[in-house]
Chain A
């Protein structure tokens, strides 16, 4: 083939692949929007009530929204303090030669598939929670939150450790030179400088926790209700993801039931996508994504 033609074909090929790669995300959004349309028009604001009863035509997703928010809040509340302190420890206190070792171990932890976390949750955590709090079942919102906390710990630690480690040494030297103690150097100098990247790390962990399916689905108990009082997380609950995982195959394609499920997926997608894109503004992920 003459060179001119291969040049043209080649250019078109790379352009075409770029359009596909960039188009997938729009395609996904479009599909979810089209197929949740029926639920939106049929149910309207009824979608945000608490009763989910497909045979009666009631599709309120409030319990699922509550569950998603609850497990995410628990996960972040547990993982951020522990993760941040560990990051400080690895970057500032631990001798440098251990740093690479600890970080590779953390990446190993991050590579464990979520279904295996789910299995461990079923086999251990839910039993422990059940015994400690003397419950009928250990499959509770709290169990899901704890499991998620463990799953997002590696992300939070590695990203915030990078952020702290990247602060130039000159700041440390200047701060120590003023006679500050180590904790004062860290809290008054290093953390404020690394603040934006740490915020990005936390947001990214938050997004992961919200979208996580398998582990949560196995341990949360899958009952659609908002506990009373609202902060009592020692009862079974339901998240958007666990609901989708459990029930999507039971709904007929094209029915209002199916459409309402897709609507939940759309809500989840919009929230998580928003969080991810905000996190990206805070943080330079460029090299992290594939390391």
Chain B
């Protein structure tokens, strides 16, 4: 085959590949938006589900999902900030640095259902907490920990050393430097990481489906030790009765709302990152 022909063939295959990707993208977005918008209205968003979700709305599922990621954020942010500060400011041994990197990447790579198994063994059965909101939040917090740690570590570690040196020269001790100089500048990175983590956590089903959620009937939980309803597990329950058109319709509506939540978190992350970039360039 001549070289020109090969080059043409190559271009053709590249275009086709990208075309396939675009088709998939358009298909997914169109399907979710088209079916989702048809399914949602004010009543759907504000009423509780009936007949195992086939009729009624998804109000308590939205509330439950938000409650769960809110507590997950409260648990993981302090933990992640502490870890990031230690990695950046205290840990100087390069072997330990590499080890901690591997552990964090490893944690990030654990399949989500394994987190669910861990929660089921350790919390639900050994600590006997029962299926509850709190366990779901802890497990989601562990899942998004690596994302927040790395984001905060990068933003703290990239603060130029002369800030540290000037602060130390003023007679501050190390903790003072961290809380008054480094954290105020590094916090935006942590929040960006947190929001990206939450975008992932809110859509996760596998880790919470047997440790945190009740499929139907859950309303506002009275305490952290009660199960909540959640959007992803609700979609799962509906998808399993997909032959019923009403259930399928409700599933599309719930999916659309879930995608909106995910996008909301991601876009806020993008917005915060953009704003801080501008601040640091000043």
Report Cα–Cα, A148/B178, bound state, in Å: 44
- Any chain A CB within 8 A of the CB of B220? no
- B100-115 CB contacts (< 8 Å) to partner A: 100, 102-115
Interface residue SS majority, chain A: helix
Which B residue sits closest to A269, measured CB to CB?
A: B114
Q: Is the CB of A18 within 8 A of B82?
A: yes
Q: Is the CB of A289 within 8 A of B146?
A: yes
Report Cα–Cα, A28/B263, bound state, in Å: 30
Q: Is the CB of A7 within 8 A of B176?
A: yes
- Any chain A CB within 8 A of the CB of B41? no
Report Cα–Cα, A246/B121, bound state, in Å: 17
- Any chain B CB within 8 A of the CB of A56? no
Report Cα–Cα, A119/B259, bound state, in Å: 13
> Which residues of chain A are within 8 angstroms of B145 by Cβ–Cβ distance?
21, 24
- A106-144 CB contacts (< 8 Å) to partner B: 106-109, 111-116, 118-120, 122-124
> Which residues of chain B are within 8 angstroms of A54 by Cβ–Cβ distance?
none
- A4-53 CB contacts (< 8 Å) to partner B: 4, 6-7, 9-11, 13-18, 20-22, 24-25, 27-28, 31-32, 35
Interface residue SS majority, chain B: helix
Q: Is the CB of A14 within 8 A of B206?
A: no
A89 and B15 in contact (CB under 8 A), knowing A112-B262, A182-B7? Answer: yes
A14 and B105 in contact (CB under 8 A), knowing A111-B199, A290-B150? Answer: no
Q: Is the CB of B25 within 8 A of A109?
A: yes
A116 and B235 in contact (CB under 8 A), knowing A85-B17, A262-B117? Answer: yes
Report Cα–Cα, A245/B237, bound state, in Å: 13
> Which residues of chain A are within 8 angstroms of B205 by Cβ–Cβ distance?
113-115, 213-214
Q: Which of A164-172, A190-198, A227-235, A280-288 contacts B (4 or more CB under 8 A)?
A: A280-288
Q: Is the CB of A11 within 8 A of B108?
A: no
Q: Is the CB of B105 within 8 A of A276?
A: yes
Chain B residues within 8 Å of chain A by Cβ, number: 97
Q: Is the CB of B83 within 8 A of A272?
A: no
Other A-B pairs beyond A277-B106, A280-B102, 10, CB < 8 Å: A6-B176, A11-B175, A18-B83, A94-B18, A112-B32, A112-B203, A118-B239, A213-B111, A241-B206, A262-B121
Chain A interface (Cβ within 8 Å of chain B)?
3-4, 6-7, 9-11, 13-18, 20-22, 24-25, 27-28, 31-32, 35, 81-83, 85-86, 88-90, 93-94, 105-109, 111-116, 118-120, 122-124, 150, 153, 157, 181-184, 186, 207, 210-214, 218, 241, 244-245, 248-249, 253, 261-262, 265, 268-269, 272-273, 275-277, 280, 285-287, 289-290
